[in-house]
């Protein structure tokens, strides 16, 4: 899973596949225990974010989320998805306050009992990413918004249905999940921020949101819609001339 997500960002196979930010520098943090699901993984995420901050990381792209655990006594409820309750959401919020951009998968709960976004996609300052296909159709698995306190989520959407990626054997393949729509967009945001380093994390994220195809009429599936990075670039370029 980690390799698939990284390939969407960093792969560089000329003539075959280019990721969304192939020349970026990366730190990889493994915070998940794939054999189980317990809140300690949220604490691992917090530790990784703290380490990332100490290393000078600009962007955290996180393709995971939490709602229910192997021990039901630890389970969250939808009411907890307010961006302030869960361990991982509090950690992600702190990361944004430190100046980093945090992008996170909205979740793959759209067709399941839970249905809604999962933490830390519920954090106001975190850019949570839903999934569509190349024809802008919403993926059935993509988690619904809003947050428990009524905020727009997901924020935006990107291709996470039949997303091209690199398989374990090095060939080009396809996969489904908001795990893939998230890095697909995160790499583009990295490129945008590289062009406008004088803008802070909130200004970059706002430009991305405002460029989306239904910014004035957000919904519970794609949020503000699909960003247009050319428009985001143009808006920041105009702002740069004013300053």
In eight-state DSSP terms, residue 139 is P
How many CB atoms are located within 10 Å of the residue 31 CB?
Answer: 17
The confidence score (pLDDT) of residue 243 equals: 86
Cβ pair 33, 41 in contact under 8 A: yes
Cβ pair 176, 160 in contact under 8 A: yes
Instruction: Write out pLDDT tens, residues 56-114.
Output: 999 999 999 999 999 999 999 999 999 999 999 999 999 999 999 999 999 999 999 99
| Residue 116 to residue 145: CA distance in whole angstroms | 6
Cα dihedral 20, 22, 23, 25 in deg (nearest 10): 90
| Residue 121 to residue 41: CA distance in whole angstroms | 16
Counting as low any pLDDT under 50, the low residues of the chain are none
- Rounded to 5 degrees, φ, ψ at 61 are -110, 120
- Looking at the DSSP bridge assignments, the partners of residue 132 are 138, 159
Based on its alpha-carbon atoms, the radius of gyration of the chain, rounded to whole angstroms, reads 17
Nearest CA to 46 out of 70, 66, 76, 68 is that of: 66
How many CB atoms are located within 10 Å of the residue 25 CB?
Answer: 10
Helix (H) or strand (E) holding 172: strand 172-175
Tally DSSP H helices, then E strands, for the chain.
Answer: 6, 8
pTM of the model: 0.96
How many CB atoms are located within 10 Å of the residue 150 CB?
Answer: 9
Nearest CA to 194 out of 6, 20, 52, 8 is that of: 20
């Amino acid at each position: 899973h980690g390799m698939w997500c990284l390939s969407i960002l960093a792969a560089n196979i000329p003539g075959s596949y280019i990721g969304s930010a192939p020349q970026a520098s990366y730190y990889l943090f493994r915070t998940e225990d794939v054999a189980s699901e317990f809140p300690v993984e949220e604490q691992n995420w917090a530790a990784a974010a703290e380490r990332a901050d100490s290393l000078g990381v600009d962007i955290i792209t996180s393709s995971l989320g939490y709602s229910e655990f192997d021990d039901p006594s630890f389970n969250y409820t939808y009411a907890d998805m307010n961006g302030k309750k869960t361990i991982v959401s509090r950690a992600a919020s702190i990361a944004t306050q430190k100046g980093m951009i945090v992008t996170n998968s909205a979740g793959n709960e759209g067709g399941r009992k839970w249905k809604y976004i999962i933490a830390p996609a519920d954090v106001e300052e975190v850019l949570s990413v839903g999934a569509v296909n190349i024809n802008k159709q919403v993926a059935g698995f993509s988690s619904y918004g809003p947050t428990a306190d009524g905020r727009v989520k997901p924020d935006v959407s990107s291709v996470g249905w039949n997303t091209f990626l690199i398989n374990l054997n090095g060939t080009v393949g396809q996969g489904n999940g908001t795990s893939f729509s998230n890095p697909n967009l995160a790499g583009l945001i990295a490129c945008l921020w590289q062009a406008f380093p004088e803008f802070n994390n909130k200004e970059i994220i706002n430009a991305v949101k405002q460029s989306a195809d239904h910014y004035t009429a957000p919904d519970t599936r794609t949020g503000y819609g699909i960003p247009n990075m050319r428009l985001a670039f143009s808006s920041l370029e105009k702002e740069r001339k004013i300053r």
